[in-house]
A and B are shown apart, each in its own frame.
Chain A
């Protein structure tokens, strides 16, 4: 594990991975979008609006995966003081927030024609809105605390406390009566999506996942570079 802990080695490894990840993102996204619009059938109940699912479900999935990455990184920062953990957690936040926002907006655009409303305060929708606020609060906390060590610690604790929301989101549709339908993809006994509709969905999930890691690596690199710039400037100040 600590083999990748050295920031210089991390940058070298990510430079090696990035071209591949970017290619995978572009290929999966192109293939996924082609299938969504040209090679997938209308739903028997929902007609063409089922196409919103192919962006809504992957975005919602990434919103939760992003927060899980943030929480695991925060835990390894607090417990093992892993030297890259803070940067990974911090880099994941804006990406997760973007996916959460996408899930909320596309869900609203889907809910209006199908449910008959843009928004309801049911357990699923409300807990996802809370997820967005957790992301935004986490990002604000990093900016608010000047001392980077203190900021890292406070943010890691916030990320871990907020993690209780993730299982609540996942199981909200099972625990309480909600307007939102139960899970289709990740559920016991296999998915309840027809294969013709499952393929574009899986391609879009793959594309979003590859995109997530491209941006994550870019942002971790940016944070490491920023740290080095600050160290260099301090050294220069000391010299003069």
Chain B
């Protein structure tokens, strides 16, 4: 067996592996694109309004808890708040325990059904936290200095990103 034929076979195997992976990658990308509806964990308020999801169908609604929207209904057990993506907002009612991270301006994902009057009746509320980590004092200092751009920008709803969600607390290297 000559040396060149050995390297030729190596090259052929290389092409086969690379080609195989490329074909596989394209196939997986196609499948994932086709299944996108099922992979997406929640819809944002804009998507909900625009899609006209059938009433009574269970789905997840996610976004930021709108500032100043939270209140307890007079019955004393129903939490009421609005979920927003900056463009649209949906009113949510929920009876049950809220997670520790639940607060206005923070991301949440809720599951439930839409009532005919467009109130979302949630049976489950999960808090979504963002990718920023910092000590309390630093967060307060940032807020004081006016460089704060709002909490909960970990939530990306549909196409239109809320203006306040653009902010990023970035700590460069060091």
Interface positions of A (Cβ within 8 A of B):
41-46, 50, 53, 75, 78-80, 113-117, 120-123, 160-161, 163-164, 168, 175-179, 181-184, 187, 189-198
A209 to chain B minimum Cβ distance, whole angstroms, is 19
Cβ-defined contact, B41 with A79, below 8 A: no
The residue of chain A having its C-beta at the shortest distance from the C-beta of B125 within the complex is A116
CA distance A61 to B101 in the complex (A): 25
B109 to chain A minimum Cβ distance, whole angstroms, is 6
Interface positions of B (Cβ within 8 A of A):
10, 13-14, 17, 20-21, 24-25, 28, 32, 36, 39-44, 62, 97-102, 106, 109, 124-140, 151, 154, 156-157, 168-174
Cβ-defined contact, B129 with A181, below 8 A: yes
Question: Which of B13, B25, B40, B42 has a CB less than 8 Å from the CB of A164?
Answer: B25
CA distance A206 to B10 in the complex (A): 36
CA distance A235 to B40 in the complex (A): 59
A116 contact set on B, CB distance < 8 A = 97-102, 125-127
B44 to chain A minimum Cβ distance, whole angstroms, is 7
CA distance A50 to B131 in the complex (A): 11
21 of the cross-chain contacts (CB-CB < 8 Å) are A43-B133, A44-B135, A45-B129, A45-B130, A46-B101, A113-B99, A113-B100, A114-B100, A115-B101, A115-B126, A115-B128, A116-B127, A120-B41, A123-B39, A164-B28, A177-B156, A179-B126, A179-B128, A191-B173, A192-B133, A193-B134
Cβ-defined contact, A114 with B41, below 8 A: no
A218 to chain B minimum Cβ distance, whole angstroms, is 29
B170 contact set on A, CB distance < 8 A = 189-192
CA distance A12 to B117 in the complex (A): 74
A75 contact set on B, CB distance < 8 A = 17
B133 contact set on A, CB distance < 8 A = 43, 46, 50, 53, 184, 192-194, 197
The residue of chain B having its C-beta at the shortest distance from the C-beta of A124 within the complex is B41
B32 contact set on A, CB distance < 8 A = 168, 175
B98 contact set on A, CB distance < 8 A = 116
